[in-house]
Amino acid sequence: MSQEQWAQKLHFVYKFETVESFWCMFNNLEKPTALPVGTNFHLFKDGIQPAWEDPANQGSGRIYLALPLGDPRNPNPKLNMFYENTVLSLIGEQFEFSDHICGLVMQLRKGQLRMSLWLRKCGPEVQTRLIAEWRQILLSCEDPSFGVPVNYQPHETK
């Protein structure tokens, strides 16, 4: 698929500028585990496209994880909490280096929920700190044995 074909598949849903308008949108979205396989959600800062070709994403990468869905008929409800806590941490700028985060991509795939934080160009120390902070956000939803790896991948390797 060409870049142009991919861009045509993106559909702008909502722009929020206040807490009230965020909750108006967020409360009317389906929970990630209720969406059909193949669904992608993008939550990006204004003016940044969810494409690694966007200038804000150039020379950077993403922090990502893949969470198992469990039983497809009865997916793990904590996955919705992982997504919600990540979104709330992003819009509340709870990350120490939140200015380095361009956006969040959530993808529902067969057997897993994938999430990735897309970053501006930054060094390994910022990447490591963001990974640690995101793990803490996820651990707040889970028991201390949370064992899903959170990794960094440069966009150029895609």
Strands, E assignment, 1-158: 40-44, 61-68, 101-109, 112-119, 151-154
pLDDT for the residue numbered 146: 58
How confident is the model over 8-25, as pLDDT tens digits?
777 778 888 888 999 999
Q: Indicate whether 139 pLDDT > 70.
A: yes
Average pLDDT over residues 113-132: 94
* CATH number of the 14-157 domain: 3.30.760.10
Best CA proximity match to 102, nearest among 126, 90, 123, 120:
120
Tokens of 126: 């910022």
pLDDT for the residue numbered 128: 93
Q: What is the pTM of this model?
A: 0.88
Residue ranges per domain, the chain? 14-157
Question: What's the one-letter identity of residue 138?
Answer: L
- DSSP secondary structure letters along 81-112: HHHHHHHHHHHTT-STTGGGEEEEEEEEETTE
Cα–Cα distance list, 148 to 4, 60, 72 (Å): 34, 23, 19
What region does 3 belong to: left with phi over 0, alpha with psi -120 to 50, or beta?
alpha
